[in-house]
Amino acid sequence: MPVYTYEKQEIWVQNGNKNIYGIAYVPDRKGEMPLLIFSHELGNDHTSGERYAERLAEAGYSTYVFDFCGGTVGGNKSDGSNKEMSVLTEASDLEAVLEAAKTWDFVDPDRIVLLGGSMGGLVTTVTGTEHQDEIAGMILMYPALSAKVDSGTEKYQSEDQIPEDVSLFGGWIHVGKNYITDLKKVDFDQLLSSYKGHMLLLHGDQDGTVPISWSEEAKEIIPDCEYYVIKDGGHEFFGQPFEDAMAHIMTYLETQLNNDN
């Protein structure tokens, strides 16, 4: 398998009155090619997807990493703030990116795959299932299916009880009221069970943020799920767990994209 050189292109995407910042990793090859769109974790930004983008681009897959409009702890280059973001605003951002990507000259619009980690995995679930006829595959890594429990949505019986400032993970990140209200609106089990394509699900056995049990339950309701436990993988993959995850991702892409990237 050839190893491609690649170039990085800054590409801005418009979503309503907000501008989304992102970087495309484009292999040095001719014609349209597959694209993976990476959705980052809560608190992170586009840089958490860089190591995936680099490896994918070297394998001949174009990749786009971007900052959601809010939902980061420093470094966000997109418009918006943490107090405005929610799983649904981020799903809207991803939807805008998906629509824009279909027009990029290096992208084969029939071979776009969504890849999301943690909160980005939830966002990928929302957008991917709503646009499943427009994507060639979906990859979820340690999806934050525990988000409703982690944010205490069950303790708010009415919208009036939800504070304007919501502290998550001991104050590590503060979000707004609509973070809770929008989580309450989404039935993630229903969305996962509605996906008709072949999905790849990866979760580390040492994840201390989202227990692996959430993915163990999810794999049972996803109709066509390829599931792997990443040995020694935490919440995000580094070192050997990253290498193991990449191996599964590459195999999945070769299968989904008809062995012709």
Ramachandran angles phi, psi of 48, nearest 5°: -70, -15
Q: How far apart are CA 84 and CA 51, in angstroms?
A: 28
Alpha-carbon separation of residue 27 from 22, 55, 69, 123, 136 (angstroms): 16, 11, 27, 26, 19
Ramachandran angles phi, psi of 7, nearest 5°: -115, 155
Structural domain for 118, as ranges: 6-256
Ramachandran angles phi, psi of 36, nearest 5°: -105, 135
Higher pLDDT: 150 or 101? It is: 101
Number of domains in the chain: 1
13 pLDDT more than 90: yes
CATH at 205: 3.40.50.1820
Q: Residue with structure tokens 């994209």?
A: 257
Does any domain span residue 208?
yes
183 pLDDT more than 80: yes
Does any domain span residue 26?
yes
Average pLDDT over residues 135-144: 98
Average pLDDT over residues 220-237: 98
63 pLDDT more than 60: yes
Q: How far apart are CA 62 and CA 41, in angstroms?
A: 20
Average pLDDT over residues 113-139: 98
261 pLDDT more than 70: no
Does any domain span residue 261?
no
Of all residues in the chain, the percent with pLDDT exceeding 70 is 99
Nearest to 76 by CA among 140, 3, 22: 22
Does any domain span residue 124?
yes
3-state secondary structure of 13: strand
Average pLDDT over residues 170-197: 95
Tokens coding 218: 């999810």
Local confidence band at 74 (pLDDT 50, 70, 90 cut-offs): confident
Q: How far apart are CA 20 and CA 23, in angstroms?
A: 10
Local confidence band at 156 (pLDDT 50, 70, 90 cut-offs): confident
Does any domain span residue 16?
yes
Average pLDDT over residues 82-90: 96
Does any domain span residue 241?
yes
Q: Residue with structure tokens 């009155």?
A: 17
Does any domain span residue 1?
no
pLDDT at 114: 98
Mean of the per-residue pLDDT values of the chain: 95
Does any domain span residue 46?
yes
